[in-house]
Amino acid sequence: MIHDLSETICAPATALGGGLAVIRISGSLAPQIAERLLGKRLTPREATTAGLRIDGQLIDLVVATYFAAPHSYTGEEVVELSCHASPYIVRSILEWIAQQEGCRMADPGEFTRRALAHGKLDLAEAEAVADLIAATTATQHKMAMEQHTGRLSHLLNELRATLLRFAGLLELELDFSEEDVAFADRSTLVETLATIQHQLRLLTQSFSTGQELQQGIPTAIIGAPNVGKSSLLNALLQHERAIVSDIPGTTRDTVEGRLTIRGTLFRLIDTAGLRQTTDLVEQLGIERSYQQISSARLILWVIAPPLPTWDELEAQLSEILRLTSPESTLMLLLNKRDLLTEREVTDWLSNCSSLLQRTNGKPHTTSPLAISARAAQGIETLEELMVTSTQTLHSDEETVMLYNLRHYEALTKASRALELVSEGLHNGLTSDLITPYLREAIEEIGLVTGASITSDEVLGFIFSHFCIGK
Ligand code: GDP
Ligand code: ZN
């Protein structure tokens, strides 16, 4: 698909439903089109109320806003018509505009694509528009907003500029190689390179966290059979759903579920349980839960009466330590508290506290908590704990979070290329052998922001994920 910027494009900028609809027109013909529909000339940045007529027939009373180029979203002449959201009105107006000479309906994401073409935003900022629209939680919104306002682009532009200078120096050295002059001071180069590699590494490492925040923080519910793992999963899911709507308490045995607690998305996994078995099928289930446990960020370890002996508890803990990542957070939950006296609860909690100290912070632990999954007791406190213990994942204002796979892949390739550069410098290779890798790294970084030439095909793919009208 060839993107002809000379055509004027139009599309509904709002989804169906609601009282009003906005029709966006972008391109050199936009002001004339509007003048013909409204019988009035528009003044830039002024909202104009007018009757909209097609073939003399009054279709609607609309509010029109004219953004003169280049001070518009696309950087082109833009008119936005705010009309009543009747499908008939919207369709009539769009069909009429699309029939005019030099006009057509916009493809998904085409307005943003034009904004990119006119330098109103770069590629990473443009991609974030789609993410911003798709964001359903506060965290997703925050990550998309940061990328949209250029934090990632800014960092990458700096890295790229440094690498370009670096490449320039190396090439100078290349030119003078006959006289055997090492023009660029290699130790400075090595240092600069190390700094850049470090920054790239921070970014690529943030990808897994970024993905987790985007798709839900992996949370494994583990414990012996019958302690109430499934009941806990359902209690958490129902508690959150109850806030949204009153779904009658259906007791489904979910194995996995997502829920948002105060803006943070969690992906809960009910695992097969901790126990030794000789049964092959059960063994497979357990293998699978082991994998899920090792990649979980949060571990909800459930115990319940009849309470395990101290030895059993120790054995479970060492199993957990063996399986979990030291980066995760372990929460011990004493379930079925309704079956225990206050005294028993207090004793057990203090026993568990001292047991948990053995982890030495690897994984992190929180204070043990007594709950009742069946009576939905302590669920709110648990949720509170889940949110605060994952806060560190995204409260760091300094680091830019990578969550887009395309960006991750490009920056991983850049990192690999820079490793070869670094090796080359270390082994005293001449610049002509090093420069190609440096160029590759620069190119890959530029792919993220769109600074490197990006083919029409690649752009088409990226923008195909957009909705119409953006
Ligand atoms: P799982 O095998 O660990 O998934 O355990 P389930 O969630 O299937 O629960 C096992 C049994 O414990 C069921 O009969 C539940 O109703 C019961 N149960 C779960 N939570 C509680 C609780 O808080 N109090 C009491 N008394 N029973 C519970
Ligand atoms: Zn279960």
Supply the CATH number for residue 287's domain: 3.40.50.300
Of 195, 197, 169, 194, the C-alpha closest to 183 is 169
- The answer to which of 1-15, 106-120, 279-293, 312-326 has the lowest mean pLDDT is 279-293
Q: How confident is the model at residue 243 (pLDDT cuts 50, 70, 90)?
A: very low
Q: d(Cα 301, Cα 273) in Å, to the nearest integer?
A: 10
Largest CA distance in the chain: 88
State the pLDDT at residue 156. 93
> Would you say residue 411 lies in a domain?
yes
CA separation, residue 431 to residues 185, 196, 426 (Å):
12, 19, 12
User: What is the Å distance from ligand 2's center to 266 Cα?
Assistant: 19
Q: Is 247 annotated as a binding residue?
A: yes
Span 34-44, mean pLDDT? 96
Give yes or no: residues 166 and 222 share one domain.
no
Among 171-175, 177-181, 197-201, 264-268, the minimum mean pLDDT is found in 177-181
Question: Residue 185 — φ and ψ, nearest 5°?
Answer: -70, 110
Task: Indicate whether 244 pLDDT > 70.
Answer: no
**Which residue has the least CA distance to atom 27 on ligand 1?**
336
229 belongs to an annotated ligand binding site? yes
Q: Does 41 carry a binding-site annotation?
A: no
Ligand 1 atom closest to the Cα of residue 234 is: 7
Please choose from 234, 251, 374 the residue to mutate so as to test ligand 1's pocket, defined by most ligand atoms within 8 A of CB: 374
Say yes or no: 90 and 159 in one domain: no
Domain finish residue from 60, 94, 120: 120
| pLDDT attached to residue 455 | 67
User: Could you tell me if 389 and 406 lie in one domain?
Assistant: no
Phi–psi pair at 162, nearest 5 degrees: -65, -40
With a 6 A CB cut-off, is 407 part of the ligand 1 pocket?
no
Q: How far is the CA of 226 from the centre of ligand 1 (A)?
A: 6
**CA angle, corner 295, sides to 240 and 195, nearest 5?**
110
Looking at the structure, tell me whether residues 187 and 74 fall in a common domain: no
Answer yes or no: is 127 within a domain: no
**Overall pTM surpassing 0.90 (yes/no):** no
* Span from the CA of 365 to the centroid of ligand 2 (angstroms): 24
Based on the fold, state whether residues 242 and 386 are members of the same structural domain. yes
In this predicted structure, the answer to whether residue 246 has a pLDDT above a threshold of 50 is: no
Cα separation, 424 vs 421, in Å, equals 5
pLDDT of residue 262: 87
The lowest-confidence range among 52-61, 141-150, 436-445 is 141-150
pLDDT of residue 282: 60
Q: What's the rounded mean pLDDT across residues 123-130?
A: 88
322, part of any domain: yes
Over range 350-356, report the average pLDDT: 93
- Answer yes or no: is 224 within a domain: yes
> Given this model, what pLDDT does residue 60 score?
96
User: Is 427 part of a structural domain of the chain?
Assistant: yes
Indicate if ligand 1 lies below 6 Å from the C-beta of 378: no
Instruction: Please tell me the distance from the alpha carbon of residue 29 to that of residue 40, in angstroms, as a whole number.
Output: 15
Summary mean pLDDT of the chain:
85
Are residues 383 and 268 located together in one domain of the fold? Answer: yes
pLDDT confidence bin for 392, thresholds 50/70/90 = confident
Instruction: Quote the CA–CA distance of 468 and 112 in Å, as a whole number.
Output: 10
- At residue 248 the predicted structure's pLDDT band, cuts being 50, 70 and 90, is very low
Contact call for residues 355 and 325 (beta carbons, < 8 A) = no
Model confidence at 398, pLDDT cuts 50, 70, 90, reads: low
Distance CA 382, CA 467 (A): 38
Tokens of 383: 């949720």
Residue 360 lies in a domain: yes
Model confidence at 57: pLDDT above 80: yes
Rg (alpha carbons) of the chain, rounded to whole number: 29
Name the one residue in this structure whose structure tokens are 């929180």.
366
Indicate if 388 and 444 belong to the same structural domain.
no
Residue ranges with CB less than 5 Å from ion ligand 2 = 229-230
Any idea what the CATH number is for the domain that residue 426 is in?
1.20.120.430
- Do 108 and 254 fall into the same domain? no
Claim to verify: residue 247 and residue 328 sit in the same structural domain:
yes
Considering 120, 154, 174, which residue would you say is the last residue of a domain?
120
Q: How far is the CA of 222 from the centre of ligand 2 (A)?
A: 10
- pLDDT value of position 394: 63
- Identity (one letter) of the amino acid at 196? I
CA dist list (Å): 426 to 141, 168, 418, 430 = 43, 19, 12, 11
192 and 220 housed in the same domain: no
Nearest atom within ligand 1 for CA of residue 335: 23
Tell me, in angstroms, the distance from the centre of ligand 1 to residue 227's CA.
6
Q: Which residue's alpha carbon is at the smallest distance from atom 22 of ligand 1?
A: 336
The three-state DSSP-derived secondary structure of the chain is: CCCCCCCEEEEECCCCCCCEEEEEEECCCHHHHHHHHHCCCCCECCEEEEEEEECCEEEEEEEEEEECCCCCCCCCCEEEEEEECCHHHHHHHHHHHHHCCCEEECCCCHHHHHHHHCCCCCHHHHHHHHHHHHCCCHHHHHHHHHHHCCHHHHHHHHHHHHHHHHHHHHHHHHHCHHHCCCCCCHHHHHHHHHHHHHHHHHHHHHHHHHHHHHHCEEEEEECCCCCCHHHHHHHHHHHHHHHHCCCCCCCCCCCEEEEEECCEEEEEEECCCCCCCCCHHHHHHHHHHHHHHHHCCEEEEEECCCCCCHHHHHHHHHHHHHHCCCCCEEEEEECCHHHCCHHHHHHHHHHHHHHHHHHCCCCEECCCEECECCCCECHHHHHHHHHHHHHHHHCCCCCCCCCCHHHHHHHHHHHHHHHHHHHHHHCCCCHHHHHHHHHHHHHHHHHHHCCCCCCHHHHHHHHCCCCCCC
- Ligand 1 atom closest to Cα of residue 339: 26
In a domain, 125, yes or no: no
Residue 227 Cα to ligand 2 middle (Å): 8
Q: Which region among 66-75, 160-169, 239-248, 251-260 has the lowest average model confidence (pLDDT)?
A: 239-248
Higher pLDDT, 108 or 287: 108
pLDDT of residue 283: 63
| CA–CA separation, 318 and 274 (whole Å) | 11
Asked if residues 371 and 333 have their Cβ atoms less than 8 Å apart, the reply is yes
Domain count, the chain: 3
Residue 339 is predicted with a pLDDT of 96
Residues 194 and 66 in one domain: no
CA distance 373 to 345: 15
Q: Say if ligand 1 is within 6 A of residue 335 CB.
A: yes
Q: Of 64, 85, 120, which marks where a domain is finished?
A: 120
Contact indicator for 444, 414 with CB cutoff of 8 Å: yes
Query: What is the pLDDT confidence band of residue 401, given thresholds at 50, 70 and 90?
Result: confident
Report the atom number in ligand 1 closest to the C-alpha of 373: 23
pLDDT for residue 286: 66
**Other C-beta atoms lying within 10 Å of the C-beta of residue 185:** 12
CATH number at residue 84: 3.30.1360.120
User: How does residue 169 score in pLDDT terms, banded at 50, 70 and 90?
Assistant: confident
Q: What is the C-alpha to C-alpha distance for residues 311 and 313, in angstroms, rounded to an integer?
A: 5
The answer to whether the CB of 4 is under 6 A from ligand 1 is: no
Low-confidence winner among 60-64, 146-150, 177-181, 428-432 (lowest mean pLDDT): 177-181
**How long a stretch of residues is the chain?**
470
Mean pLDDT of 422-451: 89
Using the mean position of ligand 2's atoms as its centre, give its distance from the Cα of residue 305 in Å: 16
Q: Are residues 170 and 273 in the same domain?
A: no
Check pocket membership of 148 for ligand 1, CB cut-off 6 A: no
* Average confidence (pLDDT) over 95-111: 93
* CA 42 – CA 285 distance, rounded (Å): 67
Tell me: the pLDDT tens digits for 170-195? Answer: 776 655 555 555 545 677 778 889 99
pLDDT digits (tens, 9 = 90+) for 354-381: 999 988 888 999 999 999 999 999 999 9
User: Checking phi first, is residue 416 left (phi over 0); if not, alpha (psi -120 to 50) or beta?
Assistant: alpha
Q: Please give the span between the terminal C-alpha atoms of the chain, in angstroms, as a whole number.
A: 18
CB 386 within 8 A of CB 298: yes
User: For the segment 70-101, what is each residue's pLDDT rounded down to a tens digit?
Assistant: 999 999 999 999 999 898 999 999 999 999 99
- Mean pLDDT, rounded, for 107-121: 91
Q: Which pLDDT does position 214 carry in this prediction?
A: 81
Residue 126 lies in a domain: no
Domain that holds residue 22: 8-120
Q: Looking at the CA of residue 375, tell me the nearest atom of ligand 1.
A: 23
